[in-house]
Structure 1
Amino acid sequence: MTFNLTVSPDFAPDHISGWYFFNTWLQRKLGVGIHLELYDSFDAQREDIRAEKFDLIYANPYDASMLVREMGFQAVVKPASKSDETIIAVNAESPFHTVEDLISGCRVATTDDPDVHTMGMIMLESADLDKNNTEIKQHSSYVVVAKNLLNGDADAGFFLKDAYDELSELIRSKMRVLVSSQISVVHHSLLVGPRMAEHIPAIQTALLTMHDDEKGKGVLESMDIETWEPMDSEQTEFMIDLIDTLID
């Protein structure tokens, strides 16, 4: 039997090869077939997830709620020292220097990354802004969000902090960060579905010792992950409760 793996579409394009290396490495460690399928769109991926196409998912915090509570997935590991934070940035020449400077009718560039968009909208509340008094335009990637800011087609943009940090130094030098979230307990995690549940102990053991393996360490570097940390049900439920609270 071949299992299916997918990855939340918010990773940097530079790490695409890293996930293919990871898939090959994990197959060899487990002795099972695993097919990797990557997506450009969160909506398209979520549709296939709901159709029960996948058994192993590196998921963003927003999707973790659906996967655990509705589909019986179990979180097994998370990247060490790597939380999901959201940044609101503007053009470096913008007259806006704080979130509170943003005004009604301002143009916001975002992506379909659900947890980043949600957090960005929450951070706009301090300026008394919401979806009713802003012009929100969704774009295909954080690079496109940055281009909109640099071209003057948007007044503010939402970024996953990791994605912002991985933009070129030249692009970042032309933008200014207004605010960054500091939640720290919200992060991506690797979840295993019911069909693959019997492999959870082997998966967790392999990943928690991955940095001790010469090839594994190289794969981690290509994914921009230092090491993995274990996740238990209590940690998972706490994160999901927090995300659900933010969304509500």
Structure 2
Amino acid sequence: MAYNLTVSPDFAPDHISGWYFFNTWLQRQLDVGVHLELYDCFEKQRSDIRDNKIDMIYANPYDASMLVRELGFKAIARPQERPDETVIAVSAESTISSVEELQAGITVATTDDPDVHTMGMIMLEPADLDGSNVTTKEVDTYVIVAKNLLNGNADVGFFLKDAYDELSDLIKGQMKVLVSSQISVVHHSLLVGPTMQEFIPRLEERLFSMHEDEKGKGVLQSMNLEEWEPMTEEETEFMIDLIDTLVIE
């Protein structure tokens, strides 16, 4: 039987090859067939998840609630010291230097990354901005968010901090950061669905020693990760509760 692994669509395109390397590593460790299925958007991915077409996922924190509480997935690992933070940026030529200076009527460039968009909107609240007085322009990638700022088609951009940091120096040099979140307990996680949970003990053993092996370390580097660390049920539930609270607010 072959299983399906997928990755949250917000991962950096530069690391596509890294996930293919990880998929090959995973098959060798578990001695089973695993197919890597990548998606361009969250909507299609969520549809396939609900249709039971996905057995393991490196998921964004927003989707953890659905995966764990509705579909029986179990979070087992997260990348060490890689919390998900949101950056709000503007063009370097903008006269705006703080969120509080932003005015109603601005255009916000964002992706369909739900946790980043939610946090970005919350971070606009000090300027009394919300969905009723800003225009949202949804684009496919963070590179396109940046392009919209640089060509004047948006006033503000929301970025996953990791994605912002990985933009070229040329692009980042033409933008300035107004604010970055500092939540620290929200992060992407590796979750295993009901069909693969028999492999969890072996998977945990191999994942948490992956950085100690030369080949495993090379795979991690290709994914821009240092090492995996365990994620407890309590930590998972806390993160889900926090995200659910932010969304409700």
Shorter-chain TM range is over 0.9
**2:244 aligned with 1:244:** yes
How far off is 1:32 after superposition?
Answer: 0.7
Distance 1:66 1:127 in 2: 32
Aligned residue in 2 for 1:207:
207
Aligned residue in 2 for 1:155:
155
Show the 5 A alignment for 1:15-34.
15-34=15-34
**2:85 aligned with 1:85:** yes
Distance 2:108 2:207 in 1: 39
- The letter for the 2-side match of 1:114 is P
Q: Mind listing any 5+ residue stretches in structure 1 that lack a counterpart? A: none
1:8-66 CA-partner distances (Å, limit 9, x unpaired): 01111110000000000010011011010001101111111111111100000000110
- The letter for the 2-side match of 1:84 is D
SS of aligned partner of 2:124? helix
1:180-209 CA-partner distances (Å, limit 9, x unpaired): 000000000000000111000111111000
**2:232 aligned with 1:232:** yes
SS of aligned partner of 1:148? helix
Aligned residue in 2 for 1:141:
141
Show the 5 A alignment for 1:142-221.
142-221=142-221
Distance 1:26 1:212 in 2: 16
1:82-108 CA-partner distances (Å, limit 9, x unpaired): 000000000001011100111000010
Overall identity of the aligned pairs, in %: 71
Distance 1:10 1:76 in 2: 20
- The letter for the 2-side match of 1:186 is V
Aligned residue in 2 for 1:69:
69
Aligned residue in 2 for 1:46:
46
- The letter for the 1-side match of 2:213 is D
- The letter for the 2-side match of 1:104 is A
Which 4+ stretches in 1 moved above 3 angstroms?
A: none
Distance 2:205 2:93 in 1: 50
Aligned residue in 1 for 2:6:
6
How far off is 1:150 after superposition?
Answer: 0.2
Distance 2:9 2:206 in 1: 24
Distance 1:95 1:156 in 2: 12
User: May I ask how many residue pairs the two structures share in their alignment?
Assistant: 248
- The letter for the 2-side match of 1:63 is D
Distance 1:244 1:141 in 2: 24
- The letter for the 2-side match of 1:178 is L
- The letter for the 2-side match of 1:197 is Q
Distance 1:13 1:203 in 2: 25
- The letter for the 2-side match of 1:41 is C
Distance 2:119 2:50 in 1: 24
Distance 2:117 2:216 in 1: 33
Distance 2:199 2:172 in 1: 42
Give the superposed CA RMSD. Answer: 0.5
